[in-house]
Amino acid sequence: MTNSAMEGGQAIIRCLENEGVEYIFGYSGGSVIPIFDALVTTETKIKFILVRHEQGATHMADGYARATGKPAVVLVTSGPGATNTLTGIMTAHIDSVPMIVLSGQSVSWMLGKDAFQEADIFGMAMPVVKHSYLLRSSNEIPRTIREAFHIATTGRPGPVLIDIPKDISAGSCTADLHAEMDLPGYKLDASVDNGTILEIAEALAKSKRPLILAGHGAMISGAEESLKAFAEKAQIPVTNTLLAKGVFPETHELALGMLGMHGTAYANKAICECDLLLNIGSRFDDRILGKPELFCADATIIHIDIDNAEIGKMIQPQITCVADAKLALDELIPHVPVIDTAAWRKHLDSYKVKYPLKFKRKGSLKMQHIIDEFYKLSEGKACVATDVGQHQMWAAQFYKCDRRHNWLSSGGAGTMGFGLPACIGAAFGRPDDLHVCFVGDGGFQMTFFELATAALHKLPIKIVVLNNHYLGMVRQWQELFYEDRTSGVDLEGNPDFVKLAESFGIKGFNLRRPGDVKRVLQNALDYNDGPCLVNCEVEKTDNVFPMIPAGAAIEDMLIEPPKRKLEKPTGST
């Protein structure tokens, strides 16, 4: 079946409509003019969101996808427009976020000839995409877009790049807009091996000190209800990774909160003392392992993951199950016994009493105080986006999440500048919800120009700038491991963030004293005539604890500032 002829750009818009696309985040340019023209000449409900930098477009799309669970679309021009997306594509790739990036390209007959604004984005992006396409015919558009959405959203999700030469988007497309996919090498196995499920149930039945590690894969699969039912039936405590905040309610009596480098002391102690660890959808990244050879050395490790490449990559488990997390849990629930974990849970509860997350309210203004108060005032219901650094870890500690899709943070890439645009994208995807981004003064200055996008669309987001005038996490490492020889971390010259916000037409508040925290944050929460920003002048040299030095064993966790000199860490910062 063929369509009457239409321009390639119009076919692209129609195909995006077929995939249920609501928004396109992007920036225009010469090689994508036919697609932008199609947004005008084609009757469509798709809304284009003009950003101020292509990296901002990818982070907005990322935030939209994380907050809604739906794939997001980016549209940029060729050359620098395309290369500016690489940081955002990498961020989405390592955190398994579904995203379609449409990049313009020089005309087909000039490829490889150094044409104006030509860049081999197909080759550059290859390590950080799930798949990529370079279109060679306008009639490839419908099949390619359909395949791209299928690949981006199935199995382990990820970004897909479609590079579109200008003559292809301007050319005539006569292909069926509902063209069949042609993916002979892309096969998904939805089955769960029953024998493996029974083996897992048998191992759980023998356990005295079991522990569930809930990872981002459980979040992606929509396993929150299954996970809760499973944990409550078997009475097993649950810890979660940074990206899995909310997949199991962090206020639940079985919850131990986040584990790892800056996780709760009780979650990390549970890892050290459990006799069985059931990992559901976590890739055992270096931030939670410490020393891999010592991780759960005396425990039975079970790993459930949809991606076979993650099995045995960091840790060799005793039992493996390659499957979707929700499907595996649903199969496991009927077979799992009620385990007598009363003594184990009581023991871990004692750790919660002995090693609580805490901070001093007296003295200078603390980031923890601000985050904790915002959590209370918002009743834990906000969709939280963060940037990267100390504030990110304190937000993970003090803003508990009870709902899936309410925590948006760059995990594997650790991308500074992520927080503000991700929060904007989330606000487009969920306009009726409360949205806040906690950002440091360093990361905020990498993408603050997206304040224009937030202001233009009058998004009622709350931007909390935790301003310590330092790159705080790097400074913390220099203090602890390099005899306080600070270098390249003093952000002298920061702008007045309130005046900056006001220059965009955004309401600004200053917060300097602990006694004003509740009042100022409540004023920000009550303000809904567009975005508002709170500049918080916080303590400059506070440090995040608990802390496991990179490359050290979990058993070497620091609960509080050390009284001895520490050796330089062997792992990544």
Q: Is 18 helix (H, G, I), strand (E, B) or coil?
A: helix
**Residues 424 and 541 grouped into a single domain:** yes
Q: Which residues are catalytic?
A: 54, 116-117, 166, 473
User: Which of these three, 354, 383, 413, is where a domain ends?
Assistant: 354
Residue tagged 């940081």 (tokens): 87
**Residues 205 and 346 grouped into a single domain:** yes
**Residues 306 and 397 grouped into a single domain:** no
- 57 inside domain: yes
**Residues 231 and 257 grouped into a single domain:** yes
Q: Indicate which CATH number applies to the domain containing 305.
A: 3.40.50.1220
Task: Evaluate the CA torsion angle 437, 441, 442, 448 in order and state its sign.
Answer: positive
- 126 inside domain: yes
- Asked if 259 contacts 267 with a C-beta cutoff of 8 angstroms, the reply is yes
- 563 inside domain: no
pLDDT truncated to tens, each residue of the chain (573 aa)? Answer: 456 799 999 999 999 999 999 999 999 999 999 999 999 999 999 999 999 999 999 999 999 999 999 999 999 999 999 999 999 999 999 999 999 999 999 999 988 888 889 999 999 999 999 999 999 999 999 999 999 999 999 999 999 999 999 999 999 999 999 999 999 989 888 889 999 999 999 999 999 999 999 999 999 999 999 999 999 999 999 999 999 999 999 999 999 999 999 999 999 999 999 999 999 999 999 999 989 999 998 999 999 999 999 999 999 999 999 999 999 999 999 999 999 999 999 999 999 999 999 998 888 999 999 999 999 999 999 999 999 999 999 999 999 999 999 999 999 999 999 999 999 999 999 999 999 999 999 999 999 999 999 999 999 999 999 999 999 999 999 999 999 999 999 999 999 999 999 999 999 999 999 999 999 999 999 999 999 999 999 999 999 999 998 888 999 999 988 877 777 776 666
Residue tagged 């810890």 (tokens): 239
Q: Which domain holds residue 391?
A: 367-551
φ and ψ at residue 422, rounded to 5 degrees: -65, -40
- Asked if 437 contacts 464 with a C-beta cutoff of 8 angstroms, the reply is yes
- 70 inside domain: yes
Q: How far is CA 84 from the centre of its chain?
A: 19
Q: Is 101 helix (H, G, I), strand (E, B) or coil?
A: strand
Q: pTM of the prediction? A: 0.96
**Residues 329 and 395 grouped into a single domain:** no
Instruction: In whole angstroms, give the CA distance from residue 197 to residue 213.
Output: 17
Instruction: In whole angstroms, give the CA distance from residue 100 to residue 151.
Output: 10
Half-sphere exposure of 133 (CA within 13 A, CB side): 26
- Asked if 422 contacts 385 with a C-beta cutoff of 8 angstroms, the reply is yes
**Residues 168 and 200 grouped into a single domain:** no
Going through 59-98 in order, the beta strands assigned E by DSSP cover: 72-76
User: Which of these three, 298, 323, 354, is where a domain ends?
Assistant: 354
**pLDDT tens figures, 480-539:** 999 999 999 999 999 999 999 999 999 999 999 999 999 999 999 999 999 999 999 999
147 sits in which H/E element: helix 141-153
DSSP letter, residue 208: S
- Show the CA angle centred on residue 455, arms to residues 452 and 456, nearest 5°: 80
- 102 inside domain: yes
Q: How many domains does the chain have?
A: 3
Strands 2-7 and 172-175 turn out to be: antiparallel
Instruction: In whole angstroms, give the CA distance from residue 300 to residue 284.
Output: 15
Q: Where are the alpha helices (DSSP H) in 157-244?
A: 166-170, 194-206, 216-220, 224-234
